[in-house]
Amino acid sequence: MALRFIGKDPNSPNTNSPTVWVDEADGSMVIQGWKLDAESTAEVNAAAPIPDHETVVRIPARMAPFLKEAMGDG
C-alpha cells in the first residue's frame, strides 16, 4: 500500500487531524478524523449499525476540497 498525502485541516487546533490520503494501489481514500460523540453514533447505528471491524469519523465541510482532490476532481 502506498498512501499519497492529500491534505490536512488547516484550521485544526493541533495540526494533525482531519487528514486525507489516497491509496495509490486501489484509489480508495484513507481519512483520519474526529470520533463521533455518543449521540451521533446512536443516530448512525439507528440507520445502519456500525460493524465491529468498521468506524465512522467526522470531518468538517471545509475539508471538501481535499476529498474532491482525492477523488480526482481537484
- pLDDT tens for 9-55 read 888 877 678 999 999 999 899 999 989 999 999 999 999 999 999 99
Output the pLDDT for position 14: 72
Instruction: Pick the closest to residue 21 from 5, 32, 8 (CA basis).
Output: 5
* DSSP letters spanning 26-73: T--EEEE-EEPPHHHHHHHHHHSPPPTT---EE--GGGHHHHHHHTT-
pLDDT score of 1 more than 70: no
pTM reported for the whole predicted model: 0.79
Q: What is the pLDDT of residue 32?
A: 92
- Residue 49's Cβ-side half-sphere holds a number of Cα atoms within 13 Å equal to 3
Residue 21 CA to residue 66 CA, distance in Å, equals 9
At 36 the pLDDT is: 92
